[in-house]
Amino acid sequence: RENPAPGDVAVVSVGYTYGGRRSKLLDSLKKGGLPLEPGSWQESTQELDFSEFFGPGLMGSGGGDRSGKFWQYEGSLTAPPCSRGVQWVVRHDALPASPDSLEAFKEAIAALTPVAQAEVGNARKLQSACGRTMTLRSTSDVTPQMQLEPRAEDGGFQTAVAEALAEQKKFAAAMVPEPPKLYKECLDRLARAATDLGVAKSHRHNTCKAGAEAQAKLKTVQPGLSRVRVVEQYKGNMAKCETASAVIASLAKELSGGKARCASLKGEKPKAKDEQPMSGSVSGALSALDPSGLLR
């Protein structure tokens, strides 16, 4: 959902730093290669053990307590549409990892960062706490209390995936001429940004409209509990309206800068003032390379 209710979405955040020992989890995740293209994925062939998330870090917990410490608070998503109502659980201290593992993940993050994003890996600036309450929590092992039943593999799903990949390869082979890889990747990012922009505009319309309706209702509602609720509705919707406006501005900037970036990746030069219009054959080739029309 665009605006999940508090508790519907949770994010566990764990930081890593250069330390005196390797991270078994990060080493397992990067075996076989990390995704370096938007939309791509790699299936890990290793068993993933998340227990290191919840144990003592470099400094230990002190006093014989070997449990990890986490801060819990209600926040928002760190990427568009930046929805509120997300439960964040952030580890108090960083865990150790080897330099080669951290560099591999840095490379993957840089490769997947949108072309027009100012800071690699971060879609938003550091946000104010805005008076939020944070609770420090300790971890405990509840594995013995869990009764996991073996789950049979869904053969039908795997077959469907294989058939879809085969059809995708046939379609790609039929596309002539083949545009440069980075250019196609850039177009894909622009298409996703355009979709996100449409969603953000719809969300802004709905929240701003709800805020205006609440404001109009304030003129007729009598003082008391009902008026307090209407005021809360008005403030909440207007805050969402302002957030959506900021998201729209960011996405519009990404689209604007991304078009020029895609054109440069394709090798196009700025059109001279006295340049003649494109011929039909050249225009047709451009349409084949750029069916979405994002560069025109």
Q: Which has more pLDDT, 177 or 227?
A: 227
Which pLDDT tens digit goes with each residue over 199-213? 888 888 988 998 899
135 pLDDT band, cuts 50/70/90, is very high
- The whole-number average pLDDT for the span 70-90 is 86
Q: Is 80 exceeded by the pLDDT of residue 27?
A: yes
Per-residue exposure over 19-29, b if at least 16 CB sit within 10 Å of its own CB, e if not: beeebbbbebb
Quick check: 233 and 207 in contact, CB under 8 A? Answer: no
What pLDDT is recorded for position 276?
A: 45
CA angle 209, 211, 214 (to 5 degrees): 110
Q: Is 70 exceeded by the pLDDT of residue 181?
A: yes
Which pLDDT tens digit goes with each residue over 214-233? 888 888 888 888 888 888 88
Q: What are phi and psi of 125, to 5 degrees?
A: -75, 165
- Distance separating alpha carbons of residues 186 and 205, to the nearest angstrom: 29
Hey, what are 181's tokens?
């890889």
Please state the pTM of the whole predicted model.
Answer: 0.46
What pLDDT is recorded for position 296?
A: 41
289 pLDDT band, cuts 50/70/90, is very low
Q: Is 80 exceeded by the pLDDT of residue 23?
A: yes
Question: Which distant-in-sequence residues (6+ apart) come within 8 Å of 143 by Cβ?
Answer: none
Which pLDDT tens digit goes with each residue over 250-265? 888 877 777 777 777 6
177 pLDDT band, cuts 50/70/90, is low
Provide the mean pLDDT of the chain.
Answer: 76
What pLDDT is recorded for position 174?
A: 67
Hey, what are 211's tokens?
């805020």
Q: Which has more pLDDT, 55 or 42?
A: 55
Q: Is 70 exceeded by the pLDDT of residue 282?
A: no
Q: Is 60 exceeded by the pLDDT of residue 176?
A: no
What pLDDT is recorded for position 268?
A: 55
Q: Is 60 exceeded by the pLDDT of residue 178?
A: no
What pLDDT is recorded for position 227?
A: 84
- Distance separating alpha carbons of residues 215 and 229, to the nearest angstrom: 12
